[in-house]
Structure 1
Amino acid sequence: MEVDCAGCAGCCLDWRPLLEAEGDETDHQRRRPFDDPNATRAPLDDDPIFVPLTRDEVRAFLEVGLAAALTPRFWHARETSEGVEIDDRSVAAVAGRPVFFVGLRKPPKPVAPVGREEPTWLPTCVFLDPTTLQCRVHGGEHFPEECSAYPKHTLTLEHETECERVESAGGGERLLDAAVDDDLDGLLLGSQALGAKLFAHPQPDALEGVIDRAAAGTLTTADRAECLAVAAASSPGTLATSDHHYEQALDRVLEQADDGSWVGPAIREWQRRRDTGEGVPSPAVADRVEVDRGASETPGWDALE
């Protein structure tokens, strides 16, 4: 497998608004794995490139003060019999317990992806440097396994990759070599995912209001803390959760809300800048918004040649 990622970041942000603004979007370019309600369960949110983290990755993020980077994803139940009713929605569940992923947040950032020259506000991975379009944690101990396996897993499962969608939309040649071994290690499918990547909340009543806010994209710190604590307390291969790990993780997330890493303040700053309506700044403003707050710098593509 070989890909050309320079200037792209198609798998790290939602670039669909670019097509919508230009009026050249097609059904092929819009298609995402969760778009067909007859094929799978539709998520409550509208993130087309949600990257699920494992329980161990969630714990690791919490240990280093990066809880603000994480958010849950819930799904609509495909059938009433497989769901639980919360906030007037049938939420996908296992044994009566609502299930969810934990992934990375995507605040608005001024970016110019997939070969564009002018930046625009797009939902962008919290760890993506808008200036270089490189990941701030790439190759480090907190680089998600699912990110490192992309697009290998997608190719192995014979699905369309984001590289190919970018190519279809006029983004040049991105997927240079699609040959991969049939290796699904780390993908965690079916029952393997339970408690390891797919988390089951033991108390549906605790999610009243959370589900509404998840669908509206307005989750609070307390909402995220509740879900992250359950994920961190989960036991792989089972529905069991550890009360000790739950309480420890909950306290840790809530403590980090006010005194954590650069992530929370940077997200709030990006949202404030976008909401002022003063136009799109240069991506270089990320030096002040993220790097000056402690984010790692990225080398740029010339340094990798």
Structure 2
Amino acid sequence: MEVNCAGCAGCCIDWRGLLQPEANGGSDSPRTDGTAAPDGDDALTTTRQRGSLGTDDGSRRASIDDVANFVPLTREEVRAFLEAGYAAALTPRFWRVRDEHEAVTVDGYDLAAVADRPAFFVGLRKPPKPVTPFELEEPVWLPACVFLDPTTLQCRIHDDDLFPAECGAYPAHNLALEAETECERVEAAFGGERLLEADVEDEPVDLLLGSQAIGEKLFCHPEPDRLEGVIDRLARGEATREDRATCLAVAAASSPGTLAISEHHREQARERALEAASKTNDDAWVGPTIREWHRRRVQTDGTPSPTVASAVEEARGAPETPGWDDLE
């Protein structure tokens, strides 16, 4: 497997806002005003990218948040992020289901569940950032991974032990499932060559599908009543740190292959998640930068240069990225 990532970051951003369906009902063409594409854009939906849960008949269960390119983290990765003080970077994802018999209803949402426990992933948040992917001439505001450097379009934790295994394996998982990759979508929409070699025979592929995922990547909340209000706020993009901590604690306290939850580890993880938000050391740069990006997106006229990230992120302690010149 070989990919060309320079100037892309297609798997790290939600770039649906760049697509404008043409009147003939056919292809998508780029747009640069940052507005959202219509819902139901199946061309951008895969098992890994949208975090949807496949059913036996091949249908998908829509996530309640509709955030593209969601990267599911494992239990150990959730724990590692919490220990590093990066709780603010994490968020849960729940799904709607059509069949009420396999759902648990919370805040009016019929949620996918296992043994009457709402099921969820934990992934990385995507605040709005000014970026210029795919050789765009002008920067645009797009939802981007909290660890993406808008200037270089590189991951700030790529060489760190915290770098998610799912990110490191991508797009091997999609290729192993014979699903379209983000590389191919970028090629189709903007041209260029991104997926240079699609052979994954020699790639380590650990998909964690079915029952293997329970307690390891797919977590099950044991108390649906404690999610009252949380689900509605997640769906509206207004989740609080307490909302996120409640779910992160369940993930960190889960046991692989079972529905068991360690109450001791659950409370410990919840306290750690809430404590991280009050830290003032360099590890606490994530929360303040997310809030600053949202503030600038609302209050700034136009779109600033991606280089403003040096003042928003790096000045608060974010790790720098090397750029592409030394990597070529």
**Under TM normalisation by the shorter chain, which class is it?**
over 0.9
What does residue 32 of structure 1 align with? 45
Q: Is the counterpart of residue 213 in structure 1 residue 233 in structure 2?
A: yes
Partner Cα separation in structure 1 for residue 275 and residue 309 of structure 2: 25
Partner Cα separation in structure 1 for residue 41 and residue 181 of structure 2: 12
Query: What is the DSSP-based 3-state SS (H/G/I as helix, E as strand, rest coil) of the residue aligned with 1:266?
Result: helix
Residue 18 of structure 2 aligns with an amino acid whose one-letter code is: L
What does residue 164 of structure 2 align with? 144
C-alpha contact 2:169 2:205 (8 A) present in aligned 1: no
C-alpha contact 1:145 1:186 (8 A) present in aligned 2: no
C-alpha contact 1:82 1:93 (8 A) present in aligned 2: yes
The equivalent position to 2:183 in structure 1, one of 157, 163, 169, is 163
Query: What is the DSSP-based 3-state SS (H/G/I as helix, E as strand, rest coil) of the residue aligned with 2:85?
Result: coil
Q: Note closer, same or farther for the CA distance 1:42–1:284 as it changes in structure 2 (3 Å cut).
A: same
What does residue 127 of structure 2 align with? 107
Partner Cα separation in structure 1 for residue 61 and residue 314 of structure 2: 38
Partner Cα separation in structure 2 for residue 71 and residue 20 of structure 1: 29
The equivalent position to 2:149 in structure 1, one of 117, 129, 139, is 129
Partner Cα separation in structure 2 for residue 173 and residue 193 of structure 1: 33
C-alpha contact 1:16 1:30 (8 A) present in aligned 2: no
Q: Is the counterpart of residue 229 in structure 1 residue 224 in structure 2?
A: no
What does residue 318 of structure 2 align with? 295
Query: What is the DSSP-based 3-state SS (H/G/I as helix, E as strand, rest coil) of the residue aligned with 1:73?
Result: strand
For normalisation by structure 1, the TM-score amounts to 0.95
C-alpha contact 2:148 2:156 (8 A) present in aligned 1: yes
For normalisation by structure 2, the TM-score amounts to 0.89
Partner Cα separation in structure 2 for residue 185 and residue 235 of structure 1: 22
Partner Cα separation in structure 2 for residue 185 and residue 21 of structure 1: 35
Residue 289 of structure 2 aligns with an amino acid whose one-letter code is: A
Q: Note closer, same or farther for the CA distance 1:86–1:182 as it changes in structure 2 (3 Å cut).
A: farther
5 Å-filtered alignment, 1:157-196, equals 157-181=177-201, 185-196=205-216
C-alpha contact 2:176 2:205 (8 A) present in aligned 1: no
Moved more, 17-26 or 67-76: 17-26
Identity within the alignment, %: 65
Q: Note closer, same or farther for the CA distance 1:47–1:263 as it changes in structure 2 (3 Å cut).
A: same
5 Å-filtered alignment, 1:271-290, equals 271-290=294-313
Query: What is the DSSP-based 3-state SS (H/G/I as helix, E as strand, rest coil) of the residue aligned with 2:321?
Result: coil
Partner Cα separation in structure 1 for residue 134 and residue 245 of structure 2: 34
Q: Is the counterpart of residue 3 in structure 1 residue 3 in structure 2?
A: yes
| Deviation, structure 1 residue 277 | 3.8
Query: What is the DSSP-based 3-state SS (H/G/I as helix, E as strand, rest coil) of the residue aligned with 1:138?
Result: coil
What does residue 57 of structure 1 align with? 77
Partner Cα separation in structure 2 for residue 125 and residue 22 of structure 1: 28
What does residue 257 of structure 1 align with? 277
Question: Any gaps of 5 or more consecutive residues in structure 1?
Answer: none
CA deviation digits over 1:61-89, x for unaligned, max 9?
Answer: 00010000000000012411111011111
Query: What is the DSSP-based 3-state SS (H/G/I as helix, E as strand, rest coil) of the residue aligned with 2:78?
Result: helix
C-alpha contact 1:29 1:168 (8 A) present in aligned 2: no
CA deviation digits over 1:189-209, x for unaligned, max 9?
Answer: 100000000000000000011
CA deviation digits over 1:213-259, x for unaligned, max 9?
Answer: 11111111110000000000101110010111011011111111122
| Deviation, structure 1 residue 28 | 7.9
Partner Cα separation in structure 2 for residue 216 and residue 230 of structure 1: 22
Partner Cα separation in structure 2 for residue 28 and residue 64 of structure 1: 36
| Deviation, structure 1 residue 29 | 7.7
Partner Cα separation in structure 2 for residue 188 and residue 216 of structure 1: 29
Partner Cα separation in structure 2 for residue 269 and residue 20 of structure 1: 29
Question: Any gaps of 5 or more consecutive residues in structure 2?
Answer: 30-39
